[in-house]
Amino acid sequence: MFRFIARHPAAIVLALLLGLVAACAENPVTGERELSFISTQRELSIGDQQYLPSQQGQGGRYRVDPELTAYVQSVGNRLATVSDRQLPYEFVVLNNSVPNAWALPGGKIAVNRGLLVELNNEAELAAVLGHEIVHAAARHGAQAMERGMLLQSAMVVGAIAVQDSPYADYAVGGAMLGAQLLTQRYGRDAERESDIYGIRYMARAGYDPAAAISLQETFVRLSEGRNSNWLDGLFASHPPSEERVRNNRALVAELRAEGVTGGELGVERYQAATAFLRDTKPAYDAFDEAEQLIAQDRLEEASRKLDTALSLVPDEARFLGLQADILVYERRYEAAVQQYNRAIGEDPDYFDYYLGRGVAYSRLGQRQLATEDLQASVKLLPTAMAMNELGTLALQANDRTAAKQYFQLAAQGGGQVSQQAGAAFARLDVVDNPASYVAVQPYVNAQGRLLARVQSNAPITLRNVQVQFRAVVAGQVVTRSAVIPTLQQGQSGDVDSGINFPAGVTPTADQVAVGVAGLSVD
């Protein structure tokens, strides 16, 4: 069978098509037959594995007002009970000012505090959560993963090219999947499907479905104002449009015709539940401004903004953690450790405080404490920065093997730290495996002289590249070596061995051997 498929590409296509038929299943929301390669158990497993790191990468949980999360969970539960697919739905509020909400496979859903302050009533919140519930119930995230699987399969027969999915620069290792799921853009059909069934879930749960219209109208108005936070958040993955407003209005009219009347708005309940969040918004505005000032290297101004924020919400760990970050930038490491301690005391489950304290400990020369904190950070969210720092500590301890492993993991990201880690890995690995980075091709010129074309594929500059020649000349084994003082990335050139073959003699492949015997790096 395997020989037959290998010789007949059409058989591969047939096998794939047969597999597609076998993998069809009924969508639990729409009732339509569709491809399904990822099982329910796999969906649940992905959601469970990615929920915590996805929260960590988006600011962590909003902890200063736990009653708000309980309220959002209660609204979500009310909608989940009328969902067409029963999953272990879970709802959290994230400590992030960007207005956004997202769903992972298996019913793991999050909404940012930055979105909650923009809504007017519980019914609008229900419209948001209902929309996200449909994304999970209708398997939109799983379908996106399955499309990736299909595209990869199609590449086997050269039919379709796959483009890499974007992902956040911080994520490495297993957390990269969650980052990809959060940054994906649902297709137009998936968005419309979530609007349609999300509104129906609202109506089933007793909410006024008209709130979905006012919600989209608000989104359109804000998008026209080109508020960057909105464009970076909900609008990026759920783009608003007048078409969506019209579609929602038409569906609500259809529901009214079906006899759906009234429904709750829940204005007073929502205002009461979000009162603390609204009252403390100036503190979080100051925090956001501080982050922008730090990016501009205006640390003193940023510190003053954080003082203002802490005067309004003194137990907010994010404010304390950012103050500690400033102390690290100012190289006041002992003071930074004390401030990170305060942040961890308020929230012991956020990766960034352990990461920052680990860096501070490292700069103080306290390697064991630094390693423990950095590893604690990685357990919560694997990041390029933590892996890179752990690699540096391992190298200081002369553990080249561990250092290479850490640097290689850190290099998986997409930011500057990942690039630095990639270079650090290459500096170690190129010495251990020079043949993997330097291509050497021997040849004999018209004068019978043995030379070699040498090219560096290393991402760093190589020094003292020693090229070893071995040749059989007139029945005698002759060895020579030559040294290239400097070889830049991508650079190539010819190296003369000093070995001559007699006129008219063309050596066979087994009579000539050339390789890299050693090299060094800066």
In angstroms, the CA 354 to CA 329 distance is: 16
Together in a domain, 254 and 360: no
Rounded distance between C-alpha atoms, residue 361 and residue 365, angstroms: 6
Whichever domain contains 395, its CATH number is 1.25.40.10
CA dihedral 344, 348, 354, 360 (to 10 degrees): 10
**520 sits in which H/E element:** strand 512-521
pLDDT value for 232: 55
Distances (CA, A) of 398 to 394, 404, 428: 6, 11, 12
Instruction: Please indicate, yes or no, if residue 339 is contained in any of the structural domains.
Output: yes
Kindly state whether residues 157 and 263 are assigned to the same domain: yes
3-state secondary structure of 219: helix
On whether the CB atoms of residues 387 and 378 are closer than 8 A, the answer is yes
Cβ atoms of 207 and 123 within 8 Å: the answer is yes
Sign of CA dihedral 444, 449, 450, 454: negative
In three-state secondary structure terms, 248 is helix
Q: Which of 238, 273, 308 is the last residue of a domain?
A: 273
The 10 Å Cβ neighbour count of residue 261 is 9
DSSP 58: T
DSSP one-letter string for 472-494: EETTEEEEEEEEEEEE-TT-EEE
Among 497, 496, 484, 495, CA closest to 458: 484
154: in domain: yes
424 and 442 together in one domain: no
Task: Give, in order, the Cα–Cα distances in Å from 384 to each of 46, 168, 417, 420.
Answer: 22, 11, 6, 10
Q: Do 391 and 302 share a structural domain?
A: yes
Establish if 1 belongs to a structural domain. Answer: no
* Per-residue confidence (pLDDT) for residue 226, from 0 to 100: 58
Is residue 123 located within the same domain as residue 145? yes
Per-residue pLDDT, 181: 60
From first to last of its 522 residues, the chain has per-residue pLDDT tens of: 333 333 444 444 444 444 444 466 777 777 677 666 678 888 888 888 889 988 998 899 999 999 999 999 999 999 999 999 999 999 999 999 988 899 998 999 999 999 999 999 999 999 999 999 998 888 876 676 655 544 343 333 332 222 233 334 466 666 556 556 655 656 677 788 888 999 999 999 999 999 999 998 888 877 776 555 544 555 555 666 788 889 999 999 999 999 888 899 999 999 999 999 999 999 999 999 999 999 999 999 999 999 999 999 999 999 999 999 999 999 999 999 999 999 999 999 999 999 999 999 999 999 999 999 999 999 999 999 999 999 999 999 999 999 999 999 999 877 889 889 999 999 999 999 998 999 999 999 999 999 999 999 998 999 999 999 999 999 999 999 999 999 999 999 999 999 999 988 889 989 999 999 999 998
Instruction: Tell whether 420 and 438 lie within a shared domain.
Output: no
Rounded CA-CA distance 252/342 in Å is: 50
Query: Would you tell me the crossing angle of helices 281-295 and 299-312 to the nearest 10 degrees?
Result: 170
430-442 burial string, b = 16+ CB within 10 Å, else e? beeebeebbebeb
CB 146 within 8 A of CB 99: no
Task: Evaluate the CA torsion angle 148, 149, 153, 154 in order and state its sign.
Answer: negative
H helix runs in 266-330, sequence order? 267-273, 275-279, 281-295, 299-312, 317-329
Which pLDDT score is estimated for 218? 81
Query: Could you tell me if residue 14 is inside a domain?
Result: no
> What pLDDT shows up at residue 187?
65
* Predicted local distance difference test score (pLDDT) of residue 173: 64
**Contacts (Cβ under 8 Å, ≥6 apart) of 32:** 26
Residue type, 312: L
pLDDT in tens, 311-329: 999 999 999 999 999 999 9
382/390 Cα distance (integer angstroms) = 12
In whole angstroms, give the CA distance from residue 123 to residue 207: 6
Other beta carbons within 10 Å of 519 = 21
Please state, in angstroms and rounded to a whole number, the distance separating the CA atoms of residues 345 and 315: 10
Q: Name the DSSP letter for residue 509.
A: G
Residues 501, 407 share a domain: no
The label of the residue with tokens 């690039």 reads: 419
Chosen domain end from 224, 245, 273: 273
Fill in the amino acid letter for 184: Q
Give yes or no for a contact between 347 and 324, defined as CB atoms under 8 angstroms apart.
no
**pLDDT the model gives residue 24:** 67
Residues 167 and 33 placed together within one structural domain of the fold = yes
**The length of the chain, given as a count of residues:** 522
pTM: 0.82
- How many whole angstroms separate alpha carbon 427 and alpha carbon 459? 9
Q: What is the dihedral of CA 80, 84, 88, 93, to 10 degrees?
A: -40
CB 83, CB 137: distance < 8 Å: yes
Residue 161 lies in a domain: yes
* Domain encompassing residue 329: 279-432
What's the pLDDT score for residue 444? 94
Q: Given the structure tokens 């190589």, which residue do they identify?
A: 462
In this structure, the answer to whether residues 261 and 300 fall within a common structural domain is no
pLDDT value for 390: 97
Please check whether residue 463 lies inside any domain of the structure: yes
pLDDT at residue number 9: 47
Radius of gyration over alpha carbons of the chain, in Å?
Answer: 30
Task: Report the C-alpha gap between 515 and 271 in whole angstroms.
Answer: 74
515 neighbors 440 (Cβ within 8 angstroms)? yes
Quick one: 311 and 252 in the same domain? no
Q: Are both 476 and 461 inside the same structural domain?
A: yes
Which of 171, 170, 151 lies closest to 161, judged by CA?
Answer: 151
Q: Are strands 449-456 and 108-112 parallel, antiparallel or unpaired?
A: unpaired
First to last CA, the chain: 54
Statement to judge: residues 142 and 71 lie in one domain: yes
Residue 8 resides in a domain: no
Q: Which of 433, 361, 363, 370 is nearest to 404 (CA)?
A: 433
- Supply 295's token pair: 């990016």
Domain count, the chain: 3
